[in-house]
Structure 1
Amino acid sequence: MAIRFIVKEPDPVLREHAKPVPKITPNIHKLLDDMADTMYEAQGVGLAAPQVGILKRVIVMDCGEEYGGLIELINPEIIKKEGEQFGPEGCLSIPGLQGDVRRAQKCTVKGWDRNGQEIEIEGEELLARCIQHEVDHLNGVLFLDVAERVYRPDPEEDRA
């Protein structure tokens, strides 16, 4: 396992469409492991393969134990969205900025786990936001593209 370099905006790889993973290989396992390590090291809650320069449809997320801990998804596809939430988002590829983004309150995503088994995950609130944000990355979409307002967060708020 290794920490990978996180690609930053305006790197063009962030605007590319990631390719589906045709089969699970040891390289995909290593990518999943490295992405999780990289996400934790950067103190993020989600990371998509294009953010580490790999144009594969692979994401990792960890929104905390209340949302199931580490989630790995290969070839994720959102199949259902419900409701609406509006709130701040940030991104490891866009340090120093946040944006207020409107997302579905609840969504269902299907994909493969690291063993190639099809899985379906229903997420609400933070997990739903994270799923939508990371799947957007696979389609070359950044939160900057969908935010209603972009701003620099107040560092004083972090200390409260």
Structure 2
Amino acid sequence: MAVRPIIRFPNPMLGRSAERVSRFDDDLHSLVDDLTETMRAAPGIGITAPHVGVLYRLTVIELDRRAGPRAFVNPEIVWRSAETARHSEGSISMPGISEEVERPSRIRVRYQTISGETLEEEASGLMAVCLQHEIDQLDGIFWIRRLSRLKRERAVKRFEKLT
């Protein structure tokens, strides 16, 4: 396990779509371990492979350290509720900045485990927020693109002052 360097905003890689994972092997297991360690060191509750420069559709989310991390390989949202909720979001690629983002309050996601098994589950609350946020990143949509132009510009200016 290793803590990998995190790509920082405004690196163009954060705007690229990730490729599907097709090999469920020891390298994938090692990448999941590295993502977990990197996320914890950041610190954060979610990370994608593109955050460390690997353009694979892979995210690790850990909402509760006691429950441990969950890896989602090739995740896709297959259903969204019409009901929405607002939640504060940020990114390990833009540390120190957060804003409220409105998203569907519940989703259904289809994904594979690190052994390749396909599963589907419904998520709500913080897990729904995290999955939508990280799947956006896998699609090349950095979280601030979900903000109004004014809020996005303010967030970028605040981040520039921090760096």
TM-score in same-fold range (> 0.5): yes
Q: CA deviation at 1:23?
A: 2.2
Number of the residue aligned with 2:20: 20
Q: Which runs of 4+ in 1 moved over 6 A?
A: none
Aligned to 2:38: 38
Aligned residue in 2 for 1:50: 50
User: What is the root-mean-square deviation in Å for CA atoms of aligned residues?
Assistant: 1.8
Name stretches of at least 5 consecutive residues in structure 2 with no aligned partner: none
Q: Distance in 2 between matches of 1:24 and 1:86?
A: 35
CA contact (8 A) 2:47 2:134 kept: yes
In 2, are the aligned partners of 1:99 and 1:143 still within 8 Å (CA)?
Answer: no
Task: Name the CA shift for 1:104/1:69 in 2 (closer, same or farther; >3 Å).
Answer: farther
State the secondary structure of the residue aligned to 2:80.
strand
Please say if 1:114 is aligned against 2:90.
no
Please state whether the residue corresponding to 1:115 is helix, strand or coil. Answer: coil
The answer to whether the 8 A contact 2:76-2:135 is kept is yes
Q: Residue type matched to 1:61 in 2?
A: I
1:121 Cα deviation after fit: 2.6
Question: Which AA in structure 2 matches 1:46?
Answer: G
Partner of 1:143: 143
Which residue of structure 2 aligns with residue 63 of structure 1?
A: 63
Inter-partner Cα distance in structure 2 for 1:41 and 1:91? 13
- Paired amino acid for 1:33: D
Q: Which runs of 5+ in 1 are unaligned?
A: 154-160
- TM-score, length-scaled by structure 1: 0.88
What is the count of residue pairs matched by the alignment?
152
Q: Residues 12-65 of structure 1: CA distance to partner in whole angstroms, max 9, x if unpaired?
A: 111111000112121111111100111111120100110000000000001126
For 1:134 and 1:95, how far apart are their aligned partners in 2?
15
> 2-side partners of 1:41 and 1:65: how far apart?
13
Matched, 1:9 2:6: no
Q: Which residue of 1 aligns with 2:74?
A: 75
Determine if contact 1:105/1:125 at 8 Å carries over to the other structure: yes
The percent of aligned pairs where both chains have the same amino acid is 34
